[in-house]
Structure 1
């Protein structure tokens, strides 16, 4: 690891410590929130690493050379998206949202860029779906046939069932959210696969503003996201009993 990377990781760790202290001192963090982030971190890391692993299998070693094919969370931390944004949202009383640093993929290095870039993008949500299904089945084994309705806004109090339920819930949200066809989300790869060449100049201009658009969608239109998430959560909840 070079000196710059060590300094970056040191700053990231310091930010985590400071912001966790501030959030805890304000008493705005609950047990469910702690479990949520404990579930979010490995879920989003596996999501991002899967992009790099599949890209490597198709001939692109960009993520490997960047040191991103690792389960160590530090290289995947985005200072704003992983630390500052969720902490600020908790401090002002909003539900926290967070994201990790995207794994770099050079589409030009793929052996068959047009088709393989689509698979590289979709493998991330696919991993989250597998994790969500696995969590639901494990929850069913642990709890039995008594499911907690997802519309009750309550999680079970027992530690293991709570962790499994929140872990599955987080992965459903990650899978569905990333399938929204807005850049830079993974679902945009489907749009790019079928987009006529004549539309590409306008599409590339739109991509410059895509991340702010996604954040505005999350912050200003949460009811839209709720409508998007509800069918998937309803389907997933059937696995719980």
Structure 2
């Protein structure tokens, strides 16, 4: 039980920041390009309660962390937040601007990855005290969750951000055909997760990015 409480305490802040800034970034960029929908609904906010999905943000990742803490395994951390509503028809240049709106979320996770990496470096070089290990563990969790969210969301499967980016870049006929996959995107993702394919695809990418960060920050 102590391991479970410790795991939740370490991961709670990184997970909340990762999903909150990811979703708020989508809304902010959408507003910048002409769509005020998210702003009108109060979704351009750092209040995590506005973005939390009870199942995707709390239950699913909580169960994965709990199972990992109780069994000593790690598993592939997976979850989702309430998507920020974007009315692409209200963007000034819908097809072109869709790219920037979709890319904003993964870009926010990338920035947070570097922030947590800097904190991990600080924890490594700071004098040994009661906070050093906690900070290092939380920073390591922050790096992990943000890398997972960034790489996962860049998969070219609508309605993931990578799917939106693909639609914005493809010629119109191919873009329209690819966009029609959206109703099946989430079931496809669940199947990939349950069969282990998702972890096999994303694991090496996340490992490579983690190694790159270790080279940049020297840890």
User: C-alpha offsets along residues 93-134 of structure 1, whole Å, 9 cap, x if unaligned?
Assistant: 655422100101111111122221101110111111111112
In the other structure, the counterpart of 2:211 is 234
1:39 pairs with one of 6, 14, 17 = 14
Measure the CA separation in 2 of the matches of 1:142 and 1:134.
Answer: 13
Counting matched residue pairs gives 206
Residues 117, 140 of structure 2: 8 Å contact kept:
yes
Change (3 A) 1:86 1:132: closer
Relative to the length of structure 1, the TM-score reads: 0.76
Relative to the length of structure 2, the TM-score reads: 0.82
Measure the CA separation in 1 of the matches of 2:13 and 2:123.
Answer: 20
Measure the CA separation in 2 of the matches of 1:205 and 1:108.
Answer: 17
Q: SS at 1:187's partner residue? A: helix
Q: Structure 1: which 5+ residue stretches go unaligned? A: 1-23, 146-155
Change (3 A) 1:130 1:190: same
1:68 pairs with one of 21, 43, 49 = 43
2:117 is the alignment partner of 1:140 = no
User: C-alpha offsets along residues 43-70 of structure 1, whole Å, 9 cap, x if unaligned?
Assistant: 1100100110111111111001111112
2:61 pairs with one of 75, 86, 103 = 86
- Report deviation, 1:138: 2.7
In the other structure, the counterpart of 1:98 is 79
Residues 77, 145 of structure 2: 8 Å contact kept:
no
**Segment drifting more, 76-85 vs 103-112:** 76-85
- Report deviation, 1:38: 2.4
User: C-alpha offsets along residues 12-64 of structure 1, whole Å, 9 cap, x if unaligned?
Assistant: xxxxxxxxxxxx6xx78252343223211111100100110111111111001
Measure the CA separation in 2 of the matches of 1:83 and 1:46.
Answer: 17
Q: Structure 2: which 5+ residue stretches go unaligned? A: 69-74
2:95 is the alignment partner of 1:127 = no
Residues 28, 90 of structure 1: 8 Å contact kept:
no
| Residue correspondence of structure 1 range 156-175 to structure 2 within 5 A | 158-175=133-150
